[in-house]
Every structure is written in structure tokens, then in C-alpha cells.
Amino acid sequence: MEQQKIMYTEDDLLPLSGLQHLIFCERQCALIHVEQAWVENRLTAEGRIMHERVHSADRESRGDIRVEYGMPFRSLKLGLVGKADVVEFHKKRQEDGEEFWLPFPVEYKRGRPKKDNSDRVQLCAQALCLEEMLALQVSNGALFYGKTRRRLDVAFELSLREETRHAAQRFHELVKEARTPKAVYKKQCDRCSMLDLCLPKTTGKSRSINRYLMEAAQEK
């Protein structure tokens, strides 16, 4: 397993869930994690309730699988802390016959699979935390989507691991800068709970007007 220098202290740890905010929109991420702003809508409320229900479940055993709910984790290499929805521990046997329990993280999402990689990155970050905590390699996990009621298997390949480490680094940079990026309207803004607080259309128009006035002044 790749060895990395510990970069962060306990005081530096940021919520792992912020990686999803970052990939969706850096402005949204800064509004939540720098300005400490939050607006809940029906979709975020449904997601929150789903996570609360999963976290409150009791641990269970099913043959060669043990299931932990709401398992806390952290990584000083990534500078992240959080709580897993579900971690299944699958009993495995080494070539010498010794048995061990291999973790398999499962993240619950209320909707459907997304076009971007935000859910995969969030799950991969959980795997990296588990690897650091338990000193073993976690190769696979799954995303469970409420709308489809199905699991989507995720392999933690090198490219996804690198994307996850980069996202964690960028997350820390954004918080350290303590500066909220300007709004840029995109179609995805319409489904964001922060829409009325962010006002991307208004901000975007203001920037266009300012640019127009500057160009007009230069022509005189």
C-alpha cells in the first residue's frame, strides 16, 4: 500500500461530506464550509432523514458478514473526518489459512446515480480513511440509491484515488483561503438548495454589466 506523509492534525480535520459539495460546486462548498451557511429543501431533508435512519440501526451479523452502521472514521493524510453510513466486514481467508475481516463501505443516497464523480469520490475517501485506520487495503465499496433501490459497485482504482486526494487537498485550500468563489450559473444550480442564497443568475448578470461598462469606458 502506498505510504504518505501525515499532513494534518486533529485541529485541521474537515468533514468528509464536503468533498461532494466541492465537486458539485466550489461556491456551494465555500458557502457551507467557509461562511457556515446552509439552506435545506425537500431533497436535502429526505437525504438527511435517510442517513439518520441508517446511522441509528443496530450492528448485525449475517454469516460471514458483519455490518456496522454510523461508523466514525478519519484520515490525517487527507485531513478528513466523518461517519460512514454502512461498513460491511466480509470474512476472508489468507493463503496460510488465517482469517481476517475486509471492510466494504456502503454509502446511501436518496436519488439516482449522478453524472459527476462526487458520490464515487466521497465513497473512495471513506475507503482511504478505513485503510489508514485499519492498515489494510480496501479495494471495493458500493453506493445505494434510494430511487432505484439498487447498489452500484465501485472499484477504488488508482485514478479515483488520485481524484479523491486532489479533491481533499483542494477542499483544504478553499477553506484556508476563506474566500467564496463568484457565482457562475449552470443548469445544476436549479436543483441546489442554496439557489436563493447564492443567486447565480443575479450575480452573473452583475458581472456582465460591469464588464460591459468597463469595455465601454475603454472605448472613450
Domain spans of the chain, in order of start: 10-181, 183-220
Over the stretch 170-199, which tens digit does the pLDDT of each residue have? 999 999 999 988 888 888 888 888 888 888
Indicate the pTM of the whole model. Answer: 0.81
Sign of the dihedral defined by the CA atoms of residues 165, 171, 174, 177, in that order: negative
How much is the pLDDT for 213? 44
CA dist 58 and 213 (Å) reads 62
**Average of per-residue pLDDT across 124-137:** 96
> If you classify domain 10-181 with CATH, what class do you get?
alpha beta
135, three cell numbers? 492498515
How much is the pLDDT for 12? 95
CA dist 216 and 220 (Å) reads 7
More confident call, 57 vs 165 = 165
What percent of the chain has a predicted confidence (pLDDT) above 70? 81
More confident call, 207 vs 10 = 10
Over the stretch 12-65, which tens digit does the pLDDT of each residue have? 999 999 999 999 999 999 999 999 887 666 666 665 766 667 776 677 888 899
How much is the pLDDT for 5? 60
Please answer whether residues 27 and 33 qualify as being in contact, where contact means their C-beta atoms are separated by less than 8 angstroms.
no
Q: Across the chain, what does the average pLDDT equal? A: 85
How much is the pLDDT for 206? 43
How much is the pLDDT for 66? 94
